[in-house]
Amino acid sequence: MRVYCDCGKMFEATRAQVGGIVNCPGCDQSVDVPGLNDPVWRAIQCAAVVGILAVTLLVTSFSNVPTGIFCGLGFGLLMWLISRAF
Ligand SMILES: [Zn+2]
């Protein structure tokens, strides 16, 4: 996950540092690493759940239930992979 310091430096934080504090390699100031409980992350998680339900219902409406569930799970897997990329 990318972290931006007030000094303008951008650096990578490991997943273990998410939600914690790291020292900036540029100015040695402590910087908060946004955690998964941040409002933005919560919004993304809510959007993912709504998206999964929407995809499931949409596909179910013009196909059948198993296909809808399959597409919903596929969409969920895609969202999970996207979230891992951060
Ligand atoms: Zn800095």
Q: pLDDT tens, position by position, for the chain (86 residues)?
A: 888 999 999 999 888 888 889 999 999 999 988 776 667 777 888 888 999 999 999 999 999 999 999 999 999 999 888 877 76
CA of 29 relative to ligand 1 center, distance in Å:
6
| Residue 39: CB atoms within 10 Å | 8
If one counts every other C-beta atom within 10 angstroms of the C-beta of residue 82, the result is 11
For ligand 1, the distance from its centroid to the CA atom of residue 81, given in whole angstroms, is: 30
pLDDT of residue 37: 63
60 Cα: distance to centroid of ligand 1 (angstroms): 50
For position 84, what pLDDT does the model report? Answer: 76
d(CA 51, CA 53): 5
pLDDT, residue 14, reads: 86
